[in-house]
Structure 1
């Protein structure tokens, strides 16, 4: 770099212009002449090699790298641009596997460049995952298959954390196979991959909300299931084959032309095959794609695929549940025992690296720890884990009194985890275990497999001393509570229900608080229904806890009913305002229909006879007109009375429980019936105006159907509101919430 500083400013500026203008022949010539040109930085572009890779000029890159190697200036390959990226970073992010091989060397001579990190601690491997470049990832990871350091940034965030956070579940499967040591690794916030997976509701069926027809299609759409190692390797091979097929396309065309001139029969078969493929593509474009788009099959297929991937990942975590759950396992290098060949390769790699003197510190450390752990008895590994987190007193006490079994082992670890979190109980937000996160987000699949593998997780608490039952109440998860009531014993349920958090809040206190997202907590339309479900939720929890919880105060001395009233004061005002505006609008419509119905019932189609009887008496159309006009008047007045009663009511909290929803339901139903009756009476009265040529041709029937479209539109718009009103009146248990929250 000193020689570069001594270069003439004019020469530097001229070279920078050549790079910016992409005059690559002259740039290559300069690179071959003087190694100082290798180090010149172009603003916002990096070196000339950076610029060539970014511009996808592979031939130029080849020449530039050759010049760097020939002039023994390999250190220039480590120069970073303004983004903190080396040339290998850029090649990895773009997906140029051949450029990566060129920079590293065919024999891996410069594989140490894979360990180069930018300001954020990200290696080229990390960038390959960020850009979803599977071929580059597969190529880079083979050089350091057991060095976890290249898969972690400066915040200790691993590529597995990254894949799960971005919901790249197919990538997570591949990463877990290649770097199993990442399964139990914590990031700077103390989050392990299993805890991140517990927040991804899109990966599990229990939190998927589909309409009834999409639910049917969901089970009909076929999706191939990932089956561990073989499926991962097959996935990689398929991607590689696609890439090779793409690169060989031009070569294949030349061969086809050659066959066209020399091999007539084979060429004929090829043409027939091409025509068949063309016909299939046309049929797919004309028929299959529109059908898939109409029924949204692509979206349903992607949803189901995510669920399959999520289940596979969860099962992989549960192969060694203690490691995955307790943020650090017995074997720092991962589950090497599940693949004996990988274990042998690991030993051979480390020995070869030691002899060559070029093994990374991470590899050496991992190998030493693995050797130490292999000398420990399996039954003592639980206490070895306790030793690592400085819980000697727990180890000594349990070692002398508790025989080691699988369930006891899990209970020990959970006790240590809860003990560790108690020391930082004032932290905010609360630190949750993977099980508690799954409870908060309503992921029953994870709850089920964790309780089956580690039974003691049901007693997990966070730093606020909240267990699964308290979090389910706090996050409005009725289906989780129903699941817990069904799967756990009565004794366990009683213990969980009697738990109080650090503020002295019981389950009933937490049910009295408003949710983080009050307006969209319950999956239902209308602010009134939100308030009604809040009341029903409180009563639902009230029936689960002992009676004395109704008068039990927390540390602030407040009982649940007081908290409910305080917390829902503003929410009540919003509900009253919504109800007032809604009923006023409906009242105007009901009054208009009542006026029209009254005027219609007083006018007789065809007039009256001298005797005072209607001239059309006895005809079917006249009877329909008379009956429907009366029905329209009756129900429109009924709707108007219901809406006026809502407007004049006191609108207290308890009225939202049943009184106001019932009135609103009767009012809406009556309004709908009155509108239908008004249209039918109009059509029946209008029937006598038209001539026979319209009635015989059937034109009149279709005309009346078209006129009834406003009624159908009104019914479609108000359908959800009416259905939700029926739900809150008939159903005692609240529905599932929109999503989970961590707070």
Structure 2
């Protein structure tokens, strides 16, 4: 009997059956002809039928294919697609651990096979965050003859570009697996990728993995603190204990008393855990019907896992010990470039004259006291250490932990001459700036250090290329924050450093700040003018309505006396008061916005004067809108003569709807402008003596950091 041949239609029908997970059709279509040609590619990627079944997550179909082909299984399993992936690579992207065990029994060499990127199945499991599959493959490999921490045995943990499984899990944000990898393979902790970065540096480059860098509103913060994570922590500790127990011999205890104590403590822990389990069950129920809760819970688990990983990696990172101290440190230059150029030209002429004299004397050896100076080029900027990376991204947890374990790391200087204070100021990381500022002994040195370009810490306030405007409500408030940074850094720096001229642009810090913030100043002027014009127009309209309402009182007036008919009604008094307040507050806001439009818009005025006027203008405008709607509600009650309390409540609610919408839309801008209130409070603290202020407002006198003791 002639053997039937496989046709494209036959393979296409089989592929469709696998795609839809139809086991019955797959069994009927697995004829002897197809079984003899299973290594034939069925997709453009070069996948076989077995590749396709595993990648589509149909484990039962994959097992059926393996059952049908008992002979010649090893060549089929070793078949690689166009990317070099075997069937074990495909299984590693899933959690089909039972299927992976069967594949390794049939073809043990699959564990060591690599794809074209150099990835093993273990690498692929870690990359896709499949924890069960990773633990299975890692345990199988660890049982081989080589020790798990030998470098020869760790080649399968890397791909061709030098990326290890620790690097890839950190980049993919599978921090729980990365924590397990750091425990299993300690050699990988300080292993570098092709960019020269270790695991802690990669972790320090991801601010979203930590709580300190996540921007949350009030309600999200409340939910974040209430979400339980005890179950996750318990699972992780159990896994870690299990892994450690595998490498330690068990010591049987024959003491009955100790056994009783252990049983009693276990019972107590179980009783204590009951309320926690009930609380966790309630939150799991809420997560099912409210996706926001589930997202916040996952975010909190991610933050805790990243923090645990950081605590494990930080003690093993000593990159801060290598520091570059440059010659320009503590050398202040207040001479202009022209004067320096003249001195350099005179020095060159003197050297040339000395060489000519040496030639005339018979070509003797030149005087070594006149060395020829070569132009000095600044070194290339390499990868910063983890401390500086965490400072630039604002990860407070990593910075605090590094400075807690290694307090001397605060004095590290990069190859560009930057210390932690320079980086914190460049990237506007206020929390880290305050942490460094609290270390007064180190600050005495940090504030005096100059970088390769001759920049002081105050010059770095003028560096704008690392800034983002996502947290500011407008250019004016962004400029205000920049001016605050300038003032903030001036307080900690010695006064004579303000006169220092940088090597790169021959500017003082104030001149450099003014030049780099010209564009922002222009944008702030335009934004403030547009905002003031729009708000003043609205305020004038409200004032017009309030003025007209004063002459057209609700209910009319007596024709003979001119007295309002509803004069003695309680709601008429409310209408009168609200109308007067509306007119007064709207006209006051108009005055404030007009004072902004007529101001000179100088740079220094954006620090306090203009934001304060904008705050008052917004306050009076919002108040005028609110009282105008109250006057409208009182008029409705007077005219319609509503008797029911429920109807009045609905009228007031409808009247406050525009006010509520206005408040919600303008609330971020209003909160940003409220910073002027803090300035007023500080001004009062400066003017009034301590005994006239409440205890919590009293100022504690402190010496400036730059003063020597």
| Coarse TM-score class (shorter-chain normalised) | 0.7 to 0.9
Q: CA deviation at 1:52?
A: 4.5
CA distance in 1, matches of 2:483, 2:399: 28
- Write the deviation string for residues 258-289 of structure 1: whole angstroms up to 9, x where unpaired: xxxxxxxxxxxxxxxxxxxxxx99x989x974
Q: How far apart in 2 are the matches of 1:732 and 1:436? A: 35
| 2:238 match | 231
Aligned-partner Cα distance in 2 for 1:52–1:615: 87
How far residue 234 of structure 1 moved from its aligned partner, in angstroms, is 7.5
Q: Which residue of 1 aligns with 2:258?
A: none
1: CA distance, partners of 2:446 / 2:202: 25
Aligned residue pairs, count: 575
Match of 2:298 in 1: 302
Cα deviation digits, residues 385-433 of structure 1 (max 9, x gap): xxxxxxxxxxxxxxxxxxxxxxxxxx8x4359999xxx996435x4111
Distance in 2, matches of 1:442 and 1:511, equals 16
Matched, 1:184 2:190: yes
Alignment pair present for 1:711 and 2:659: yes
State the Cα distance separating 1:209 from its structure 2 match: 3.4
Higher relative contact order (CA 8 A, sep 6+): 1
Q: Deviations over 1:564-614 (max 9, x none)?
A: 112111112222222222222212211111111111112344314534444
Cα distance change on mapping 1:298 and 1:230 into 2, 3 Å:
closer
User: Any unmatched runs of 5+ in structure 2?
Assistant: 18-25, 143-147, 245-276, 328-375, 683-709
* Partner secondary structure for residue 506 of structure 2: coil
Provide structure 1 residue ranges, at least 5 long, that are not aligned to the other structure: 1-7, 238-279, 327-410, 735-743
Structure-2 change in CA distance of 1:682 and 1:49 (3 Å): closer
Which residues of 2 match residues 269-348 of structure 1 at below 5 A?
Answer: 289-290=285-286, 296-318=292-314, 321=315, 323-326=316-319
Aligned to 2:137: 140
Q: Deviations along 1:320-355, whole A, 9 cap, x unmatched? A: x2x4444xxxxxxxxxxxxxxxxxxxxxxxxxxxxx
Task: Give the Å deviation of 1:227.
Answer: 7.1
C-alpha distance 65-162 of structure 1, shift in aligned 2 (>3 A): farther
Whole-Å Cα distance in 1 between the matches of residues 657 and 13 of structure 2? 70
**1:728 CA displacement:** 4.5
Change (3 A) 1:732 1:137: farther
Match status 1:67 vs 2:71: yes
The separation in 1 between residues aligned to 2:629 and 2:236, in whole angstroms, is 66
Q: Distance in 2 between matches of 1:628 and 1:680?
A: 7
Decide which moves more: 645-654 or 540-549. 645-654
Which has the larger displacement, 15-24 or 139-148?
15-24
Partner of 2:82: 82
> Contact between 2:170 and 2:203, CA under 8 Å: does it hold in 1?
yes
The question of 1:414 aligning with 2:410 is answered: no
Rate the CA distance shift 1:68–1:676 in 2: closer, same or farther, 3 A: same
What corresponds to 2:551 in structure 1? 602
Alignment of 1:94-243 (within 5 A): 94-105=94-105, 110-145=107-142, 146=148, 147-224=153-230, 226=233, 230-233=237-240
Separation in structure 2 between the aligned mates of residue 617 and residue 17 of structure 1, nearest angstrom: 89
Question: Could you tell me how far apart the structure 2 residues matched to 1:134 and 1:500 are?
Answer: 48
Per the alignment, residue 461 of structure 1 pairs with 413
Q: Deviations over 1:289-315 (max 9, x none)?
A: 458866943333323322321232122
Is residue 646 from structure 1 mapped to residue 599 from structure 2 by the alignment?
no
Residue 51 of structure 1 deviates from its aligned partner by 3.8
RMSD value over aligned CA atoms?
Answer: 3.7
547-556 vs 142-151, which deviates more?
142-151
CA distance in 2, matches of 1:152, 1:641: 69
TM-score (norm 2): 0.73
CA distance in 2, matches of 1:20, 1:87: 16
- CA–CA distance in structure 2, aligned partners of residues 585 and 297 of structure 1: 39
Give, in whole Å, the separation in 1 of the partners of 2:454 and 2:154.
44
Residue by residue over 1:174-224, the C-alpha shift from the partner in whole angstroms, topping out at 9 and shown as x without a partner, is 222332221111111111001112223334333343334443443333322
Question: 613, 627, 635: which is aligned to 2:577?
Answer: 627
Match of 1:588 among 516, 530, 537: 537
* Residues 1:572 and 2:506 aligned together: no
Inter-CA distance 500–47: structure 2 relative to 1 (3 Å threshold): same
2: CA distance between counterparts of 1:469 and 1:732?
29
Cα distance in 1, alignment partners of residues 453 and 613 from structure 2: 40
Whether 1:527 and 2:524 are equivalent positions in the alignment is no
Flag the 1:84–1:681 CA change in 2: closer, same or farther, 3 A.
same
Is the contact made by 2:399 and 2:432 (CA closer than 8 Å) also made in structure 1?
Answer: no
Distance in 2 between residues matched to 1:43 and 1:710, nearest whole Å = 60
Distance change (3 Å), C-alpha of 1:153 and 1:726: same
CA deviation profile, 1:531-559 (whole Å, cap 9, x unmatched): 11111111111111111222211112111
- Contact 2:323–2:413 at 8 Å: present in 1 too? no
Q: Does the alignment pair 1:657 with 2:610?
A: no
Supply the distance in 2 between the matched residues of 1:475 and 1:584 (Cα, whole angstroms).
34
Mapped to 2, the partners of 1:459 and 1:724 lie a distance apart of 35
Tell me which protein shows more helix as a share of its residues. 1
**1:695 has 2:643 as partner:** yes
Which residue of 1 is the match for residue 511 of structure 2?
562
- Structure 2 residue aligned with 1:29: 32
Helix, strand or coil at the partner of 2:445: helix
Contact 1:426 1:463 in 2 (8 A): yes
Match of 1:427 among 380, 384, 389: 380
Quote the Cα distance in structure 2 between the aligned partners of 1:539 and 1:464: 25
How far 1:731 sits from its partner (Å)?
5.3
